[in-house]
Amino acid sequence: MISQTMQDALNDQIKNEVYSSYLYLSMSAYFNLLDLPGFAGWMRQQSQEEYGHAIKILDYLEDQQAHVELRAIDQPPSEFGSPLDVWQQTLDHERQVTAMIHRLYELALKENDYATQAMLQWFVTEQVEEEKTVTLILEQVKRVGVSGTALFFIDRHVGKMREE
């Protein structure tokens, strides 16, 4: 049986994951406006992954016969300063998500909720990979800047990353 506190925290995380999905969808639209289809496609795929994360938590709550409560999400930004700005915001956001997952895991530890700990371990591992990938892209964009041919090569490379 999952505690009310853990149930509430996981319902909040569903909201956070859906927001992440919405944020990345907004970033995808921005990159499409700049004719950067590789970045746009990567963000669109990320949006779908984040939505999948929300469903994973929702399914877990249902498996635990816990109450799922879908909460309102904030509107994501639709204006961004530059591709570099978007990638920096993406890394900052992923770091925030990592902190959220860590807080959930700490709560599960505190409550001796072994099932939730096991479920959250997947998310802990996933966040390591997410931060690693975004850091790599951000550092490459920093090196080449936000204009010129090199940015288009990175865009193409990132587009191919999602196909792998």
- Domain-wise residue ranges, the chain: 4-161
| Spans of the chain, pLDDT less than 70 | 162-164
Distances (CA, A) of 159 to 40, 53, 150: 8, 22, 14
Place of tokens 């959250």: 120
CATH number for the region 4-161 comes to 1.20.1260.10
Per-residue confidence (pLDDT) for residue 77, from 0 to 100: 97
Structure-token pair, residue 111: 């409550």
Per-residue confidence (pLDDT) for residue 18, from 0 to 100: 98
What is the H or E stretch that residue 160 is in? helix 149-161
Per-residue confidence (pLDDT) for residue 21, from 0 to 100: 98
Per-residue confidence (pLDDT) for residue 89, from 0 to 100: 98
Per-residue confidence (pLDDT) for residue 162, from 0 to 100: 65
Q: Report the C-alpha gap between 25 and 90 in whole angstroms.
A: 12
Report CA Rg, the chain: 17
What percentage of the chain exceeds 70 in pLDDT? 98
* Sequence-ordered list of residues with C-beta below 8 angstroms from that of 162, at least 6 positions apart, any chain: 41, 42, 45
Residues constituting the chain: 164
The overall pTM is greater than 0.75: yes
Per-residue confidence (pLDDT) for residue 110, from 0 to 100: 98
Contact 104, 120 (CB under 8 A): yes
Structure-token pair, residue 17: 């994951």
